[in-house]
């Protein structure tokens, strides 16, 4: 498989080069020369396969020239001691992506990336420095994934005062090969600093640099795995009814009947459609749009996905583009769903490289949700479905409500990506619905001490902090 820049199809590189470059020399993002389809055997078995087997089959065609199959299986097994259960809640399905060590969907990409980086750099003697800009969850997942890996150091940039205390402790509380910079600005400022550094030829003479943001193709491809897994389960009419880690209120236990619908604690809301053979619509809470791009890859590979919903907060650059055809990046606005506070999403460049505006309009529905609507949704989902939901996943839930009210989602099954555990946003959730169950990994993270250096949103200051 070869990879080319979104800004220049004339020059292609292999997977290793795309991974370690992070950005293409012209500032573009690397995309694969093709999106390889699943074999018919894999497509027909997605609903029955183990998550790690789906991961192997999904990632293999993108790396098979450079990572042997046996090594890839080892990497996948090491990266994913957890999976992504598809559970019912209220009148819809929830794809829970928070069962990894940092309780956010970023674990899926970051942990594979860390293992792949380590193997691809075997025998290297010059240290590698990874630069990562984060609006919240990426930084913690990257820090955890790369923690204590020999020969690799990570610098995480985050907007000071715009992430939660827990997120900050996950990013800046590990030490060793992980350092943190609190930037006096927005996520867009952090992202601009990191991208400028990755394109700085003079700086790259001093350091071997790469990125672990979703601008790096090695972060993005593994995220296609959970889309294929969820779509396969839904298509086969399967859901997870016995997942003990699901954050439910005691007594709200889902039980399936013979028709494939379900009730909660004896109550029935609008039934979830679990008809076999029905492709699913997946709602993706969206900020930098790497997650949705990975979903588009899974769809193109052949996962049974009907369409996507791109649900944003008030930073609605892409929903506006879908409506008007005009892409107008803008300064981001701070919201309670802070990991989605992105006004100039990097991965829109990848989306545009693969799809025209009309193609995107056919497969993506755009919707935006306010903070007030998000708070109301957290309360309502808890009250009516007995399910704890974080602000980002609440944006997805409300986005589905809005589009259903406009009869835009059809009658098929709908799933929402729950991108983070609600405890990660206790400052928002607890005043609305009370205390949230605490995963053991997050309880441990809360004991850490933050060690971060504060810098202005200035490139010279950033470079000075790297030296």
- Domains with residue ranges and CATH for the chain: 1-34 (3.90.1380.10), 86-103+221-436 (3.40.50.1100), 121-213+442-467 (3.40.50.1100)
Interval 112-134: pLDDT, tens: 999 999 999 988 888 899 999 98
Residue 76 has pLDDT above 60, yes or no: yes
Contact call for residues 313 and 337 (beta carbons, < 8 A): yes
Alpha-carbon distance of 367 to 382, in angstroms, equals 22
The counts of H helices and E strands in the chain are 20, 16
Overall average pLDDT of the 280-295 stretch: 95
Closest by Cα among 281, 277, 278 to 362:
281
- For residue 423, give both structure tokens: 């405890």
pLDDT band at 246 (very low <50, low <70, confident <90, very high): confident
Distances (CA, A) of 163 to 27, 169, 328, 339: 27, 10, 25, 8
> Which are the contacts of 273, defined by CB distance < 8 A and separation ≥ 6?
411, 412, 413, 414
Residue 239 has pLDDT above 90, yes or no: no
The pLDDT, as a whole number, for residue 113 is 93
pLDDT band at 262 (very low <50, low <70, confident <90, very high): very low
* Ramachandran sector of residue 251 (left: φ over 0; alpha: ψ -120 to 50; beta: rest): left
> Which are the contacts of 70, defined by CB distance < 8 A and separation ≥ 6?
none
Interval 176-201: pLDDT, tens: 999 999 999 998 899 899 989 988 98
Overall average pLDDT of the 204-233 stretch: 91
Interval 92-114: pLDDT, tens: 899 999 999 999 999 999 999 99
Alpha-carbon distance of 296 to 298, in angstroms, equals 5
Rg (CA), the chain: 21
The pLDDT, as a whole number, for residue 261 is 45
Contact call for residues 222 and 112 (beta carbons, < 8 A): yes
Contact call for residues 93 and 234 (beta carbons, < 8 A): yes
At residue 81's C-alpha, the angle toward residues 77 and 85, to 5°, is 115
Alpha-carbon distance of 219 to 115, in angstroms, equals 11
Overall average pLDDT of the 216-244 stretch: 89
Closest by Cα among 396, 384, 452, 390 to 427:
390
- For residue 257, give both structure tokens: 């009947």
The pLDDT, as a whole number, for residue 272 is 56
Q: How many Å separate Cα 319 from the centre of its chain?
A: 18
- For residue 61, give both structure tokens: 């065609």
The pLDDT, as a whole number, for residue 258 is 43
Contact call for residues 26 and 7 (beta carbons, < 8 A): yes
The pLDDT, as a whole number, for residue 256 is 45
Average per-residue pLDDT for the chain: 90
The pLDDT, as a whole number, for residue 251 is 56
- For residue 120, give both structure tokens: 């691809």
> Which are the contacts of 447, defined by CB distance < 8 A and separation ≥ 6?
none
Length of the chain: 467
Alpha-carbon distance of 311 to 225, in angstroms, equals 20
The pLDDT, as a whole number, for residue 345 is 93
The pLDDT, as a whole number, for residue 397 is 97
**3 state SS for 310-364:** EEECCCCHHHHHHHHCCCCCCCCCCCCCHHHCCCCCCCHHHHHHHCCHHHHHHHE
- In the chain, the percentage of residues whose pLDDT exceeds 70 is 94
Alpha-carbon distance of 177 to 146, in angstroms, equals 8
Interval 268-278: pLDDT, tens: 434 455 668 88
* Helix, strand, or coil (residue 29): strand
Residue 252 has pLDDT above 70, yes or no: no
Interval 296-349: pLDDT, tens: 999 999 999 999 999 999 999 999 999 999 999 999 898 999 889 889 999 999
Q: Which residue has the higher pLDDT, 41 or 264?
A: 41
Other Cβ atoms within 10 Å of 168 Cβ, number = 23
Positive or negative, the Cα torsion across 322, 325, 329, 330? negative
């Amino acid at each position: 498989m070869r990879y080319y820049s979104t800004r220049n199809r004339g020059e292609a590189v292999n997977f290793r080069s795309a991974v370690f470059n992070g950005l293409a020399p012209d500032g573009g993002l690397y995309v694969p020369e093709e999106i390889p389809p699943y074999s018919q055997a894999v497509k027909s078995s997605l609903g029955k396969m183990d998550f790690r087997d789906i991961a192997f089959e999904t990632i293999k065609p993108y790396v098979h020239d450079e990572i042997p199959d046996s090594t890839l299986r080892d990497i996948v097994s090491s990266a994913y001691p957890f999976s992504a259960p598809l559970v019912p809640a209220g009148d819809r399905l929830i794809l829970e992506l928070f069962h990894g060590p940092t309780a956010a969907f970023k674990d899926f990409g970051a942990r594979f990336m860390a293992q792949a980086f380590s193997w691809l750099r075997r025998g290297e003697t010059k240290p590698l420095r990874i630069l990562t800009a984060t609006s919240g969850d990426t930084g913690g997942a990257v820090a955890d994934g790369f923690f204590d890996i020999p020969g690799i150091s990570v610098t995480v940039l985050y907007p000071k005062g715009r992430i939660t205390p827990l997120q900050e402790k996950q990013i800046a509380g590990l030490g060793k090969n992980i350092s943190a910079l609190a930037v006096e600005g927005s996520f867009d400022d952090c992202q601009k600093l990191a991208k400028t550094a990755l394109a700085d030829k003079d700086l790259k003479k001093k350091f071997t640099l790469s990125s672990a943001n979703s601008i790096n193709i090695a972060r993005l491809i593994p995220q296609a795995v959970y889309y294929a897994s969820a779509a396969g389960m839904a298509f086969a009419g399967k859901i997870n009814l016995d997942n003990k880690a699901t954050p439910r209120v005691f007594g709200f236990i889902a039980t399936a009947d013979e028709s494939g619908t379900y009730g909660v604690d004896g109550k029935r809301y609008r039934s979830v459609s679990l008809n076999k053979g029905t492709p699913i619509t997946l709602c993706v809470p969206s900020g930098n749009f790497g997650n949705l791009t990975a979903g588009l890859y899974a769809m193109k590979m052949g996962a049974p996905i009907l369409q996507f919903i791109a649900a944003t907060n008030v930073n609605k650059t892409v929903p506006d583009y879908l409506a008007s055809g005009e892409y107008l990046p803008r300064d981001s606005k701070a919201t309670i769903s802070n990991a989605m506070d992105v006004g100039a999403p990097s991965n829109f460049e990848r989306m545009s490289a693969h799809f025209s505006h009309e193609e995107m309009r056919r497969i993506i529905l755009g919707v935006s949700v306010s903070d007030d609507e998000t708070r109301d949704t957290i309360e309502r989902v808890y009250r009516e479905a007995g399910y704890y939901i974080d602000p980002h996943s609440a944006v997805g839930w409300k986005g589905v409500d809005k589009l259903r009210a406009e009869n835009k989602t059809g009658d098929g099954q709908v799933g929402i990506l729950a991108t983070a555990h609600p405890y990660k946003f206790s400052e928002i959730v607890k005043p609305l619905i009370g205390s949230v169950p605490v995963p053991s990994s997050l309880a441990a993270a809360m004991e850490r001490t933050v060690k971060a250096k504060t810098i202005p949103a200035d490139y010279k200051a950033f470079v000075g902090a790297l030296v």
